[in-house]
Amino acid sequence: MTDSEVGRIAIRTFLEMMASLENVDRGHARLLLARGRHFIPMGLPSNYRRGIAKQCFANSQRIVMRSFAKTGMGGIRYAEGYACSGKLSVSLPIHHAWIVDENGQVIDPTWECPETSVYFGVTFETGFLRERLATFESYDSLLDDRRDGWSLLGSQEMQARVLA
């Protein structure tokens, strides 16, 4: 079994366990199992700089918003879910954020060795990210967003509107 296959199994098993334990109205594991997907890893492109370690939400959200401000288009999207780092010796799913390009490939401005990592999650409409940043003025998880009572997790309508 390849490291990638082990990572995929680890993430799925971890999310299934979380889903069985989480509060129904604010657990993001159920949402990820229903709407998430795997993304294609690649090395960090040369036109991107690695951000601050352990600041994945801020690193990824800043880049998406800068790109949107420059182009006015959503060529890249903010993504969030769980990932297994290719740098670790064990497949340990970690709540993580990254960017996805037009081809579904991961641009991870936080982790070293993204090309050997495994990513599973959802992408968000850039308009929703803009709304959240304007409302709360801070970088934080959009999946596990306690700031508004986990509204995304309790609303199928909202999920359909904001998940790309």
- Per-residue H/E/C for 28-88: HHHHHHHHCEEEECCCCCCCCCCCCCCCHHHHHHHHHHHHHHHHCCCCCEEEEEEEECCCC
Give the pLDDT confidence of 94-147 residue by residue, as tens digits: 999 999 998 999 999 999 999 999 999 999 999 999 999 999 988 999 998 888
Whole-angstrom Cα Rg for the chain: 15
Longest dimension (CA), the chain: 45
Report the range of poorest mean pLDDT among 1-10, 19-28, 66-75.
66-75
Q: Tokens standing for 56?
A: 């994945």
Report pTM. 0.93
Beta pairing partners, 107? 99
- Any idea which residue has 């969030």 for tokens? 80
Rounded distance between C-alpha atoms, residue 43 and residue 107, angstroms: 7
Query: What percentage of the chain has pLDDT greater than the value 70?
Result: 96
Q: What Å distances lie between residue 142 and 47, 103, 113, CA to CA?
A: 26, 22, 24
